[in-house]
Amino acid sequence: MQLSSIAPSDTPLSNIALRDRLIVALDLPDVAAAETMIGRLGDSVTFYKIGYQLAYAGGLPLIRQLADAGKKVFIDLKLHDIGNTVARGTESIAKHGATFLTVHAYPQTMKAAVDASAGSGLKILAVTVLTSYDDSDLQEAGYRHSVPDLVAARARQAQELGVDGIVCSPEETTALRGIIAPRMCLVTPGVRPAGTNLGDQKRIMTPARAIAAGSDYLVVGRPITEAADPKAVAEVIVADIKTALA
């Protein structure tokens, strides 16, 4: 799979390769466990997410390894710092060959990451409001906005600043599709195939419903990585996405 199958940032996203729409979260304790999982998933998965757990357990070199093997990697480190630090960090991540990087949706942070990623293959995704926050959590943190208002305001800022996409809960997808330009992608965790364990996710959707609601990419972790047959679950999800797109 070539990087060129990621839609250029000025066009709608209908040409994303089917299999790339499933991003498997490698929330695993070490590189050996991740490599075993990648081996078991084989050709069924083309896009992986590396987050805090694996990145801080020596997982960053996996980005280059996966990229060299023709896979794409989403680095979910949710950067937020002074602009210069975000910019330099973004440049380092781009050199590893990652495809997506998350930053918190603060204007200075988004601008620094967008500017620093220019000309590289790295796309910047903004996290508007963490899905574990409700209105009272925002108030406690000193915000006057409700969650939907702050999500919408930050999504608009992300668009103005040239961010490539938004990470959002399945429930926010429809509203965000009405706010942001078609060139921006929506990346959605909290997806559960019908009949699987919810884990600690509360606001979930099936893959088909999430795609129908306007998500471009689905992030799925434990329903795949904890399955007896991870590859079979990945194939079911890809088939579900295909049905929803048709």
Catalytic residue numbers, as ranges: 78
Query: Between residue 221 and residue 240, which ones bind ligand C5P under the rule CB under 6 A?
Result: 221-223
Report the site for ligand C5P in 44-83 (rule: CB under 6 A): 51
Among 137, 197, 199, 243, binds ligand C5P (CB under 6 A): 199
Binding string, residues 6-25; x marks residues near ligand C5P by CB under 6 A: -------------------x
Q: Among residue numbers 107 through 166, which ones bind ligand C5P (CB under 6 A)?
A: 130-131
Task: Return the number of the residue (7 or 205) whose C-beta is nearest ligand C5P.
Answer: 205
Both tokens of 216, joined, read 């471009």
Give the residue from 126, 137, 57, 119 showing the smallest Cα distance to 86. Answer: 126
d(CA 59, CA 19): 23
> Which span (28-36, 87-95, 217-225, 228-236) binds ligand C5P, by CB under 6 A?
217-225
- Four-point Cα dihedral 236, 240, 245, 246, nearest 10: 90
Cβ atoms within 10 A of the Cβ of 69, count? 10
Q: How many residues bind ligand C5P (CB under 6 A)?
A: 16
Distance CA 159, CA 2 (A): 26
Read off the tokens for 87. Answer: 């910019």
Pairing label, strands 217-220, 22-25: parallel
- Residues 130 and 146: their CA atoms lie apart, in Å, by 13
Q: Measured from the CB of residue 42, what is the shortest distance to ligand C5P in angstroms?
A: 20
Q: Which of 189, 207, 214, 230 binds ligand C5P (CB under 6 A)?
A: 189
**218 vs 25: CA distance, rounded Å:** 10
Tokens coding 67: 């990229």
Structure tokens at 94: 């781009």
In the set 122, 151, 167, 210, which binds ligand C5P (CB under 6 A)?
Answer: 167
In terms of CB distance, is 214 or 223 closer to ligand C5P? Answer: 223
Distance CA 244, CA 212 (A): 6
- Choice between 51 and 97, CB closer to ligand C5P: 51
The maximal CA–CA distance of the chain, rounded, in angstroms, is 47
- Segment contacting ligand C5P by CB under 6 A, of 54-62, 105-113, 143-151, 220-228: 220-228
216 lines the binding site for ligand C5P (CB under 6 A): no
Asked if residue 219 binds ligand C5P (CB under 6 A), the reply is yes
> Binder to ligand C5P among 27, 164, 172, 240 (CB under 6 A)?
27
Three-state secondary-structure class, residue 109: helix
Residues binding ligand C5P (CB under 6 A): 25, 27, 51, 130-131, 167, 169, 189-190, 199, 201, 219-223
